Each structure stands twice: as C-alpha cells, then as structure tokens.
Amino acid sequence: MAEGASGATGQAPTSSRLPFTFQASGGVGKLALAELPVGPVIIDRLELEVTDLGTDPGITPAERFQRRRTRLRGLAVRMTTAALDERVAQVRKQLATLGLTQLHAKVGDGFVSVRARAADGLAAADLSFRIQFVNAGAHLRALATTVRIHGHLPTPGPIVADRVLTALFGATDTAGVTERPHTRGLCDVEIDLVGALLWHLLPPNGWRLPAVANVELTAIRIGRAGIEIAYGPAGTRTSELGVRPPWPAARPKMQALAAAHDLMHSVDQQLREGHLE
C-alpha cells in the first residue's frame, strides 16, 4: 500500500541484472524470478512467456530475451505488516500539515484498519475506518469503509478518511498515469499494480515491458501476516477472489459497496471540492 512512482512500487533494484531464470519447452520459453523486494512489496513470483522460439535454444542466459516482446503469465506480490508500518511512518509528516496525527494502520482479517487523530479549527476527534479491496478488471480498488468520527468535527468523516486514504496510496487526481494510483471518487482509489510494478522494475533494468492484456486478478488475501495479491491468465480464476471476511457471504456486500461508490461519484466530487451544503 504505497505510492506508485516512489512508494507503491518503490525503487527498482539497483543492479541492472534481474534474477530471471529461463526454461524452454515445445517452442515456448518461460522467464521467471522469485523473492525479489521492490520498494515496500516483495515479488513472490513473476513469470513471462516467450513465444516463437523456433529451435530449442538450450541453456541460454535470460538476458538474451530482455529485448524480446514477452507476455505476462503470472504475478504474485505481498506486502508485509512491517512494510505497512514503514509506509504509515512516511506519510505522517504530510498528514500532520492537514491536521491529522497519531496515524496507525493494522492488517486485520480481510481488511486494513486505520485510525488517526483529526483536528479541525478548535475541534479535535478520533477517526477510524477500514480499507477494503475489490477488483476492477485487472486493477485494484481500495475503498475506505465503516468511517467513524469519535467525537465532533465540522468536516464530514468521509472527507477526512479520503485524505488519509489518498496519502497512504500516494494517489493522484489524474487517471491513466500507470505508475501512480488515482482517485476514482471520495474514499475510492484505483491501483494498476501490474502496470506500476512492471514499469518501475523492467525498463530501468533494460527489459522490455511485456503484453499484459490477457491477465486478471485471481486472488487477494489479507491477513495478519500482510497483504497478498496474485494475477494469472484470464479465465483461470475458478472461484471468487479469496478476500475475507466473512466470504462468500460478504462478497455481494463488497460488490454492492463498490457499485454505490460509482453511483455517488458526482456527489462525492462536490464534497471533495469543499461544497458541503
């Protein structure tokens, strides 16, 4: 959970040699790497497919294919609780300028719980909410839900929660910037995790970007060990995303929540711009 260009996917490894291995079978090659830290996340698995090999290349260095057009076949990443704590520490100073202090985030069973102290003029109160994830095609949506103000603030709770959510993900208001998450609406951030990770990992190390058109989000697991997200070929997901709690009963509620956010975008934008009447 972090900023796209300098946080969400972090900096590319300093070495220009990525630890890819290469195997070929039946005219198709597979480039794979594993256990690679990239900023606040760890790539558990990245697989690229090389087609049209022609003759069997035999034992070949992976770098031979770094200029070839490949196809993404699988990606699995995770963010540990320690990395989440580090991200929270990074944005505390920024949020303090907005009157938000004592920021804490904790991974629960299927969500991330967030709390902070908010000051607004002479008023101050505690804020709490949950971050829950739903899929938007191959993208992720992070929604701030169950927003509570424990006390009184002149500013509505969702606006305060939106400021925290936006800061945590380093989101921009501009859509279509691959390396940065963007705000879809109030308390709603969309993340192109695949595009951002590959953009910050491959070109800086001399590798061509792969085709990603036929990949979909296959799993999201949020537990006390951290956040795990996996992508695979479209059509390979055999069931709903593995997000808890308590699934499958909560799945319709989460999809309904995402739909409600979409319906309220025009009103939410007015709130984000300060039109509270």
User: Longest C-alpha distance within the chain, in Å?
Assistant: 74
Per residue in 145-171, pLDDT (tens digit) is: 999 999 999 999 999 999 999 999 999
Q: Within 170-220, where are the H helices?
A: 193-201
pLDDT > 90 fraction of the chain, expressed in percent and rounded: 63
Q: Both ends of the chain: CA-CA distance in Å?
A: 33
Residue 62 three-state SS: helix
Question: The pTM is what?
Answer: 0.80
Separation CA 212–CA 172 (nearest Å): 23
Per residue in 220-259, pLDDT (tens digit) is: 999 988 999 999 998 765 444 544 433 444 455 556 656 5
